[in-house]
Amino acid sequence: MQRTLLLIVTLAAWLTAMPCLAGNAGGRFAMDFDLSAQPNNEETRLWIPYPVSDRYQEISNVAVSGDYAESAVYTDKVFKTPMLYARWDKGAKSRKLTFAFDVSRLERLDKNLPPWETRWDTADYAADLAPTSLAPTTGPVKELADRITAGKGTVLAKAKAIYDWICENMFRDPDTRGCGKGAVCSLLVTRGGKCADIHSVFVALARAAGVPAREVFGLRQGKEGVTDVTTWQHCWAEFYLPGYGWVVVDPADVRKKMLTEKLTLEDAKTAEYRDYFWGGVDPYRVQLAVGRDLTLTPPQAGEPVNYLMYPFAQVGETTIDWLDPKSFRYTISHTAK
């Protein structure tokens, strides 16, 4: 009888801790690329992050058109991040591509997290505990992670301490180019950046503290009508909680709200945002990719790609600046539904 009661209580607690899916946002994205102004003395190649359906989003009505010589959808070998690839032959004067898709996205709420943790093997999450080229897990990063998590005996407590430290010690720097590179050692000195910077620090500190974590790269949706979202890329993060699964966090949006609404850490509204983005994200986004230091498929020329949130293109072995859509010549629009 006691064992049955214990099982019922445990099951009830587990069900309470299950992710809550509420509310949704949707619409159609249209991405138009024109590489015709680039030199055409060599082959031109383009890789675009390619969203797929999962438990939080549904992708449908995908359409790809253009004057490319070749096009296909691939994934990278390590993270299985999907990408749309297109190639134009040497000498091609017109190099255009349009990629469109519908998305329906759910609000994600990982709330009422269980206080217990099941047994787990760090080897199963080696990739989510490993350093990257711009985010080491030793030296000053490890020292800071140990100070932040001192006295915290669980994965959940460590992750929450790091989240709180990020909210209280980093800030959004609107002058940062794009979403930031995520160079963690520099960021621990300057403390300012945008979403990829802030979440790179969260992930590096979490990994250094023994908490599996990863960045999630995406794009924001407009809320009404037709919106130009060419520069609306956004990154958030997740950490792995044994016995529950991946938990979403977005301290960068806390700091963005504080900046745009001129809030201080002491304001009640800030506390509301900190509570919401700990285990919650709004539906006005679409997930595109995960992974750092990527080797694309087919492989790009040169060094690994930091992350695949923006389109990536090369003429021969020369990489086009993906943070300059005027020279790269691409636009992304969203039509809300």
pLDDT in tens, 10-61: 333 444 444 455 569 999 999 999 999 999 999 999 999 999 999 999 999 9
Question: How would you label 103-121 residue by residue, b for 16+ Cβ within 10 Å and e otherwise?
Answer: bbbbbbbbbebbeeeeeee
Residue 145 parent element (H or E):
helix 140-148
pLDDT of 209 higher than 70? yes
pLDDT of 1 higher than 70? no
Which are the contacts of 294, defined by CB distance < 8 A and separation ≥ 6? 76, 78, 79, 81, 304, 305, 306, 307, 308
Average pLDDT in the chain: 93
SS3 category, 172: strand
SS3 category, 195: helix
Dihedrals φ, ψ of 205, to 5°? -65, -40
Length of the chain, in residues? 337
Q: How far apart are CA 12 and CA 22, in angstroms?
A: 20
Give residue 6's pLDDT: 33
Q: CA 81, 85, 91 angle in degrees (round to 5)?
A: 155
Question: Which domains are seen in the chain, by residue range?
Answer: 21-106+289-336 (no CATH), 109-219+232-283 (3.10.620.30)
pLDDT per residue as tens digits for the range 83-102: 999 999 999 999 999 999 99
Least Cα distance to 219 among 174, 284, 276 occurs for 284
Give residue 15's pLDDT: 40
Q: How far apart are CA 284 and CA 107, in angstroms?
A: 8
Positive or negative CA dihedral for 10, 11, 14, 16?
Answer: negative
pLDDT of 213 higher than 80? yes
Q: How far apart are CA 196 and CA 291, in angstroms?
A: 12
Q: At residue 239, what is the residue type?
A: F
For 295, the token pair is: 């080797």
Dihedrals φ, ψ of 148, to 5°? -65, -40
Q: CA 287, 288, 289 angle in degrees (round to 5)?
A: 110
pTM of the model: 0.92
Report how far Cα 189 is from the mean position of its chain's Cα atoms.
23
Tell me what the mean pLDDT of segment 233-260 comes to.
98
Give residue 22's pLDDT: 57
Q: How many CB atoms lie within 10 A of CB 336?
A: 15
For 193, the token pair is: 């950046």
For 267, the token pair is: 């304001």
pLDDT tier for residue 327 given thresholds of 50, 70 and 90: confident
Tell me what the mean pLDDT of segment 251-265 comes to.
98
Dihedrals φ, ψ of 72, to 5°? -165, 165
Give residue 4's pLDDT: 36
- Return the percentage of the chain with pLDDT > 70, whole number: 93
Residue pair 292/213 in contact by the 8 Å Cβ criterion:
no
Helices assigned H by DSSP within the chain: 2-16, 140-148, 155-169, 184-190, 195-208, 251-260, 268-277, 325-328
Burial of 8 (0-12, 13-18, 19+ CB in 10 A): exposed
pLDDT tier for residue 326 given thresholds of 50, 70 and 90: confident
Which are the contacts of 259, defined by CB distance < 8 A and separation ≥ 6? 171, 172, 174
Give residue 3's pLDDT: 35
pLDDT of 118 higher than 60? yes
More confident call, 23 vs 244: 244
